[in-house]
C-alpha cells in the first residue's frame, strides 16, 4: 500500500515537472518560420497566461558583438504545434550588427 502511494506521488512529480511551452528547437523554428534571419537565443522559459494553451515566453537573443537582450513573445498551442499570437518574430527588422 505504501509502495503504491509512493509510485503515485512519483507519477505526479513527473507530470508536474513537464516543461511548459515549446521546446527550444520548436521555438527556434517559430522564429524562422517567416524566413527571418534570427540571432542566437538562450534562456527560454514559458509561462501560461489565463488560458493554459496561451503562453508568454521569455528569452534572450544576441546580435553580433552586442549584449544579450531580454525579449518576450506570446505563443499558443494549435493542436500539434505552436503559433505566434503577437505577430511573430521581427528578427530581420532588428539591427544584426
Tens-digit pLDDT profile for residues 45-84: 999 988 888 999 999 988 877 889 898 889 999 888 888 8
DSSP for residue 26: H
For the chain, percent of residues with pLDDT exceeding 90: 21
Work out the mean pLDDT of the chain and round it to a whole number: 76
Is residue 45 within 8 Å of 55, Cβ to Cβ?
Answer: no
Helix, strand, coil percentages, rounded to 5, for the chain:
30, 30, 45
Q: What pLDDT score does 35 carry?
A: 72
Is residue 89 within 8 Å of 38, Cβ to Cβ?
Answer: yes
Which position has the higher pLDDT, 81 or 7? Answer: 81
C-alpha dist (Å) from residue 32 to 12, 38, 90: 35, 7, 10
Question: In a 10 Å sphere around its CB, with 0-12 CB exposed, 13-18 middle and 19+ buried, how is residue 11 labelled?
Answer: exposed
pTM above 0.75, yes or no: no
Averaged over 3-14, what is the pLDDT?
Answer: 48
Amino acid at each position: 500500500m505504501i509502495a503504491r502511494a509512493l509510485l503515485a506521488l512519483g507519477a505526479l512529480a513527473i507530470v508536474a515537472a513537464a516543461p511548459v511551452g515549446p521546446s527550444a528547437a520548436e521555438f527556434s523554428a517559430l522564429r524562422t518560420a517567416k524566413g527571418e534571419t534570427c540571432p542566437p537565443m538562450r534562456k527560454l522559459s514559458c509561462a501560461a497566461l489565463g488560458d493554459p494553451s496561451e503562453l508568454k515566453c521569455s528569452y534572450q537573443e544576441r546580435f553580433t558583438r552586442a549584449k544579450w537582450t531580454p525579449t518576450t513573445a506570446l505563443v499558443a498551442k494549435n493542436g500539434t504545434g505552436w503559433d505566434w499570437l503577437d505577430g511573430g518574430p521581427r528578427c530581420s527588422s532588428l539591427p544584426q550588427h
